[in-house]
Chains A and B, each alone.
Chain A
Amino acid sequence: MKLNKFLLFMVIAALAVFAAACGAESKDADKANPEETKSNESDKTVEKLEGSVVIDGSGTVYPLMARLAEEYMLNEQENVSVEVSRAGTSAGFKKFLVENGTDFNDASRQIKDEEAAEADKHGIEVKELKVALDGLTFVINKDNDWASEMTPEQLISIFKADGGVTKWSDINPDWPAEEIKPMGPNENHGTYEFFYEKILDKQDLVSNVNLQQDYSTLVNLVSEDKNGIAFFGYGYFVNNEDKLQAVGVDFGNGVIEPALDTIAEDGAYADFTRPVFTYLNINKAKENPQVLDYATYVMNNINKFAGETGFAPIPETEVNESIEFLNGLKK
């Protein structure tokens, strides 16, 4: 009995040690490799940087920034750890505008006055970098064969309180007399704030609007409800084109479908287009070369990766302005 107990203990202990060794080993291997390549490539002119770059903020901008961070770590600076989080635009600013805060904050809206005041209070110099354009896209069910084209006024009347529209037939007598189910992202999202402030002009939303935290929930809800209509960033539509259809919008000169070329700065879809940003802590960029280097990398490559993550590129002149500014920070 005693022996059995002893043996079992030994087995468990051995397993634990083995597991620990495994963990340590792969970790060492991981550490050793970059070291090797580093010495191999030391004749390269590129300066090898290390340390970390901490990014938080908008979940909408996250896919683009995560893609860039990964490419940067794989191809540029393998000893720099770029950490990308996605607490949301407003929550991100709270972590950005404190002492020892994050280096970047992704934002799907511009910084607010009170947030800028907070930055001043802490002596944080902030640079706004416009990174891409996103088109607010209205989506409906695939089986909805009547509402695939609308005017901005009609769309607003669906979402606005007292818009006088509860059924499709209220918009057009030829459309079915069925109740419309308006949906959208909730107040935690910069997309909501953009819709509420810029499209609805701060008028109240209709009381039966279904506001959700997760975009995947919205995609499912609309794909299952013939009378559903929702709004979100273009990226979420383009990746679910098999389940949803976008509403073409008639801004006055014919129907415009949201697409990467119409979302552009002066594109035909510009009325529903919003810029997305990342905000850089200039103090940090001056102190830490890897932060500045990463910022420069982002601006140099931003238009290369915008399209595949569902964003429209920004004009080259704006890219160059940002790069010039960043170069000015270099010592």
Chain B
Amino acid sequence: MEHVNQTKVMRRMNFRLFKNSLSKYIFLLATLFGLVVLAILIYRVVSQGIAWIDLDFITGKLSTQPERAGIMGAILGTFWLMLVVAPVTMFFGVGTAIYLEIYAKKGRLQGIIQTNIANLAGVPSIVYGILGLTVFVRVMDFGNVILAGGLTMSLLILPIVIVASQEAIRAVPQHLSEASYGMGATKWQTIKNVILPVSLPGIMTGAILSLSRAIGETAPLVVIGIPALLMPFPGGILDKFTVLPMQIYYWTLDSSLVAEYANLAAATIIVLLVALLILNSSAIVIRNKFQRKY
């Protein structure tokens, strides 16, 4: 101990202790920053919009007159859109993940596909809108209907679902599938009886979280061309439609013309937030309930 210069150490000690406590507050600040901004946002939206939410607003038709405007058309539009997006995304997303994880030989081709999927997840959503406009609205000539919007949204979230499903499938313990093969089961039997049931919670979590992204997206639908005023409710996947985030967008855009549109937009944001909250919490419930240890 006598080789240690006590005074030197003591001189630096205070500074070390100061840095130690400082770091704690810096990280606390980082945490609070996001929370405070979120709290301000929610406070503003709720204080502007809550008074406008009533049964007439939820069940009413769209209108240019704020006092009689309702968002049932947008709610049904969102609902129908999900009815297209969910099955399409699940089928192609999980299918791709199973192929890549279980059938595809690990090699250069698989690597290229993998890299592309990872990159596609980072492509801006407006690019998918242009793709959807060209392929579904124009070439396949669906028009700007729910089917075209839903397929576009599916493309947008597919990369995320594929990656999440791959992770879930990869997390299935090797000994389970090997036991299945050992019993003489075929690949398909193993997938059906072992891999899918075990990885389902992970797949569902990824799928639901990406569905909530699709519910909140506006940019691709702006490109596809959603009418700003559309009063009839959609009744099928070949009908014209509008969705909640589009309504928020249009009302915000025109709030300098009619001040009450800002309140309508805020009220719609609350409805959208509640819908997203329900979806996301169901994802958590599914994950917690179905998760098992092996």
A interface with B by C-beta (< 8 Å): 4-5, 8, 12, 19-20, 23, 26-27, 30-31, 52, 54, 56, 59, 62-63, 66-67, 69-70, 73, 81-87, 95, 214-216, 219, 235-236, 239-240, 310
Q: Which of A26, A52, A63 is close to B76, meaning CB atoms less than 8 Å apart?
A: A26
B residues in contact with A236, CB < 8 Å:
256-257
A residues in contact with B258, CB < 8 Å:
239
B residues in contact with A31, CB < 8 Å:
235
Once the chains are docked, how many angstroms separate the CA of A8 from the CA of B288? 12
Known: A26-B76, A67-B64, A70-B64. A214 touches B253 (CB 8 A): yes
Known: A4-B289, A8-B289, A23-B76. A85 touches B228 (CB 8 A): yes
Most buried by A among B225, B227, B255: B227
Q: Determine whether the beta carbon of A81 is less than 8 Å from that of B232.
A: yes
Q: Determine whether the beta carbon of B225 is less than 8 Å from that of A85.
A: yes
Besides the contacts A5-B290, A81-B230, what 14 more A-B pairs have beta carbons closer than 8 Å? A4-B289, A5-B289, A12-B282, A23-B80, A27-B234, A30-B232, A52-B240, A70-B231, A83-B229, A84-B228, A85-B225, A215-B257, A216-B252, A236-B257
Once the chains are docked, how many angstroms separate the CA of A214 from the CA of B249? 12
Q: Determine whether the beta carbon of A219 is less than 8 Å from that of B256.
A: yes
Say yes or no: is B259 at the interface (Cβ < 8 Å to chain A): yes
Q: Which of A27, A83, A84, A216 is close to B255, meaning CB atoms less than 8 Å apart?
A: A216
Most buried by A among B230, B257, B290: B257
A102 to chain B, nearest CB (A): 10
Q: Determine whether the beta carbon of A84 is less than 8 Å from that of B76.
A: no
Q: List 9 A-B contacts (CB under 8 A).
A: A4-B289, A8-B289, A52-B240, A66-B64, A70-B63, A70-B229, A216-B256, A239-B256, A239-B259
Please provide the 6 A-B residue pairs with the shortest distance between their CB atoms, ordered closest to farther: A216-B256, A83-B227, A84-B229, A66-B229, A27-B235, A219-B256
B residues in contact with A20, CB < 8 Å:
83
A residues in contact with B289, CB < 8 Å:
4-5, 8
Known: A4-B289, A239-B257. A26 touches B59 (CB 8 A): yes
A residues in contact with B286, CB < 8 Å:
8
Number of chain B interface residues as a range: 20 to 34
Q: Determine whether the beta carbon of B229 is less than 8 Å from that of A69.
A: yes
Q: Which applies to chain A's interface (DSSP): helix, strand, loop or mixed?
A: helix
Once the chains are docked, how many angstroms separate the CA of A70 from the CA of B229? 8
Total residue contacts A-B, CB cutoff 8 A: 81
B residues in contact with A5, CB < 8 Å:
289-290
B interface with A by C-beta (< 8 Å): 59, 63-65, 72, 76, 79-80, 83, 225-235, 240, 252-259, 282, 286, 289-290
B149 to chain A, nearest CB (A): 14
A34 to chain B, nearest CB (A): 9
Q: Determine whether the beta carbon of B225 is less than 8 Å from that of A95.
A: yes
A278 to chain B, nearest CB (A): 14
B86 to chain A, nearest CB (A): 10
Q: Determine whether the beta carbon of B256 is less than 8 Å from that of A84.
A: no
Once the chains are docked, how many angstroms separate the CA of A27 from the CA of B83? 15
B residues in contact with A86, CB < 8 Å:
228
A residues in contact with B229, CB < 8 Å:
66, 69-70, 82-84
Known: A27-B76, A30-B233. A66 touches B228 (CB 8 A): yes
Q: Determine whether the beta carbon of A63 is less than 8 Å from that of B232.
A: no
Q: Which residue of A lies closest to B285 (CB)?
A: A8
Q: Determine whether the beta carbon of B290 is less than 8 Å from that of A27.
A: no
B283 to chain A, nearest CB (A): 12
Q: Determine whether the beta carbon of B233 is less than 8 Å from that of A215.
A: no
Q: Determine whether the beta carbon of B225 is less than 8 Å from that of A87.
A: yes
Q: Which residue of A lies closest to B82 (CB)?
A: A19
B75 to chain A, nearest CB (A): 9
Most buried by A among B64, B254, B255: B64
Once the chains are docked, how many angstroms separate the CA of A82 from the CA of B155? 30
B residues in contact with A240, CB < 8 Å:
256
B156 to chain A, nearest CB (A): 21
Once the chains are docked, how many angstroms separate the CA of A159 from the CA of B142? 45
Once the chains are docked, how many angstroms separate the CA of A2 from the CA of B232? 45
Q: Which of B72, B231, B240 is close to A73, meaning CB atoms less than 8 Å apart?
A: B231
Q: Which residue of B lies closest to A309 (CB)?
A: B257
Q: Which residue of A lies closest to B65 (CB)?
A: A70
Q: Determine whether the beta carbon of B233 is less than 8 Å from that of A83.
A: no
Q: Determine whether the beta carbon of B254 is less than 8 Å from that of A85.
A: no
Q: Determine whether the beta carbon of B227 is less than 8 Å from that of A84.
A: yes
